[in-house]
Chains A and B, each alone.
Chain A
């Protein structure tokens, strides 16, 4: 395996709505920021890969026009995934493994504000049996939370603790959208939104963008003092039919974590892409994280959850903390689909 590292990460401040900019205008500061931090231009990049979906803003082929943000002329090597940018990063990582190129740019963005997000997300469900029911994303997450509570593996108080800790940590994240200091008891006193979920258990709806630069071996070392090396990366998918899955666990995350080698060393920090509080509890168990791991120091998806982007941001948040010396080894998780259907796990490590 070739050594590949995250050498740069940039994101736009998460906001509920960015109506004054179109998608490429919102994205550009992230792409330009990631390149400028390592003194690179698109002409230094061997491969560009993006993650987004046109359904969010309802703009056909928006992923083509947003490519203008990088300056794709003369024609560049480029690809797009209708997935979170974490999967775009995976594709770039595979491309780098082939050895033909040394650098890659990965970006992701979402403007969810023009549409009704929980309704838009019904379009990713099985189109014959579940999609026509318009089962919205929050209701499906509530079904999962109910399963978890009924299994006895967690309580509503456990969920409230996740919420309280995440939003408090988000106070230290200048890009967070939702940040506050409230006790778990205070959160439990809230009315249900879609039982057993309270509004506070749910991620906010976010407009935002992020970008990462990857580099191989000596190129990475020449650009930054402490590259965040990708030691393992794996992704797995579960059946589209929710009834075929045990929603109280995340089997795909467990397999991905095993393949990525999470257990091969100490995990200082983990950024888990859990848009609903109970999902962090499921993921912590699935990855096998102990209490000595700091989870979601950025506040996680409960602080900001730009669709197609929040998974890539998890990788960026871990990489940043490794590069600045706060952590030596960390795990980043990304999810896509209803109730943690698809999961990607990345293990990142710094050199001393």
Chain B
């Protein structure tokens, strides 16, 4: 580093070692078409999935495009308010903005009739008893407090039904977790069936045939 010669007026001034430059930007968020339709269902205490065509996946909540087909999802399908835990985590840390008492459980829940898990809370059961395969049902706020937000469902609670230990997220043929990765190998055309062309994913390579 070359030596820096400061002007005399700055020579006895303490060097700046760090600066804080706070930034804040405000946005007016609009949810768009698919999410608006989903949230309109919530205000009726209905969980509405969407699909691109009658044979394609049912997404809950839909984000506007079917990622398998690259197509809009105009068809609405009401799904069950009962589903199966496909994965979960126990939160043991309090963090800003969370009003939850720790420990609590966040889970991915595959609702009956849906092809995508939603993330929500599991309550009315000790955190250490939550498990993959557990059957759970939605618990809604009081009718007067229903709003167009997924928080209108307070949480999910166990139904008491037997576990579905074979639960699979559709498309993830080898089970949950890291999707279709096996032994550190990414999914490829050989192991994953192409939903548009029907090609690939042959049993020879461990695919779904």
Contacts between the two chains (Cβ within 8 Å), count: 107
Near B by CB (< 8 A), chain A positions 8-47 give 19-25, 28, 31-32, 41-43
Summarize B's interface: helix, strand, loop or mixed: loop
Note all chain B residues with C-beta closer than 8 A to A127.
21
- Whether B66 lies near A74 (C-beta < 8 A) is no
- Minimal Cβ-Cβ distance residue in A for B23: A123
Near B by CB (< 8 A), chain A positions 60-80 give 65, 67-75
Q: Which of A42, A73, A115, A132 contacts B25 (CB 8 A)?
A: A115
Note all chain A residues with C-beta closer than 8 A to B200.
74
- Whether A65 lies near B28 (C-beta < 8 A) is no
Near A by CB (< 8 A), chain B positions 59-74 give 63-72
How far is B201's CA from A74's CA once the two chains are assembled, in angstroms? 9
> Contact size class for A?
35 or more
Note all chain A residues with C-beta closer than 8 A to B206.
none
Note all chain B residues with C-beta closer than 8 A to A119.
25
Note all chain A residues with C-beta closer than 8 A to B95.
none
Q: Does A120 contact B (CB under 8 A)?
A: yes
Given A21-B32, A132-B21, is A71 in contact with B189 using a C-beta cutoff of 8 Å?
Answer: no
Q: Which of A22, A55, A71, A113 contacts B70 (CB 8 A)?
A: A71
Near B by CB (< 8 A), chain A positions 169-213 give none
Query: In the assembled complex, how far is the CB of residue A322 from the closest CB belonging to chain B, in whole angstroms?
Result: 28
Q: Which of A25, A41, A116 contacts B26 (CB 8 A)?
A: A116
Query: In the assembled complex, how far is the CB of residue A171 from the closest CB belonging to chain B, in whole angstroms?
Result: 30
Note all chain B residues with C-beta closer than 8 A to A68.
63-67, 70
Q: Does A244 contact B (CB under 8 A)?
A: no
Q: Does B170 contact A (CB under 8 A)?
A: no
Note all chain B residues with C-beta closer than 8 A to A70.
70
Given A57-B27, A58-B25, A73-B68, is A20 in contact with B32 using a C-beta cutoff of 8 Å?
Answer: yes
Near A by CB (< 8 A), chain B positions 37-73 give 63-72
Q: Does B187 contact A (CB under 8 A)?
A: yes
Note all chain A residues with C-beta closer than 8 A to B29.
57-59, 114
Q: Does A131 contact B (CB under 8 A)?
A: yes
- Whether B33 lies near A128 (C-beta < 8 A) is no
Query: In the assembled complex, how far is the CB of residue A334 from the closest CB belonging to chain B, in whole angstroms?
Result: 25
- Whether A128 lies near B21 (C-beta < 8 A) is yes
Note all chain A residues with C-beta closer than 8 A to B195.
73
Q: Which of B28, B186, B196, B201 contacts A43 (CB 8 A)?
A: B196
- Whether A24 lies near B27 (C-beta < 8 A) is no
- Whether B19 lies near A22 (C-beta < 8 A) is no
- Whether A41 lies near B67 (C-beta < 8 A) is no
How far is B33's CA from A319's CA once the two chains are assembled, in angstroms? 33
Note all chain B residues with C-beta closer than 8 A to A132.
19, 21
Given A58-B25, A75-B187, A115-B26, is A65 in contact with B63 using a C-beta cutoff of 8 Å?
Answer: yes
Given A20-B32, A57-B27, is A74 in contact with B70 using a C-beta cutoff of 8 Å?
Answer: no
Q: Which of A74, A116, A131 contacts B188 (CB 8 A)?
A: A74
Q: Does B35 contact A (CB under 8 A)?
A: yes
Q: Does B194 contact A (CB under 8 A)?
A: yes
- Whether A43 lies near B197 (C-beta < 8 A) is yes
Given contacts A23-B32, A58-B29, A71-B70, 8 further A-B contacts (CB under 8 A): A25-B72, A28-B65, A43-B197, A68-B64, A71-B196, A74-B200, A127-B21, A131-B21
State the B residues within 8 Å of A (CB).
19, 21, 23, 25-36, 63-72, 171, 186-189, 192-197, 200-201
Listed A/B pairs (20) with beta-carbon separation below 8 Å? A21-B32, A24-B63, A25-B32, A43-B197, A55-B25, A58-B27, A58-B29, A59-B29, A68-B63, A69-B70, A72-B67, A74-B188, A75-B187, A75-B192, A114-B27, A114-B28, A115-B27, A116-B25, A128-B21, A131-B21
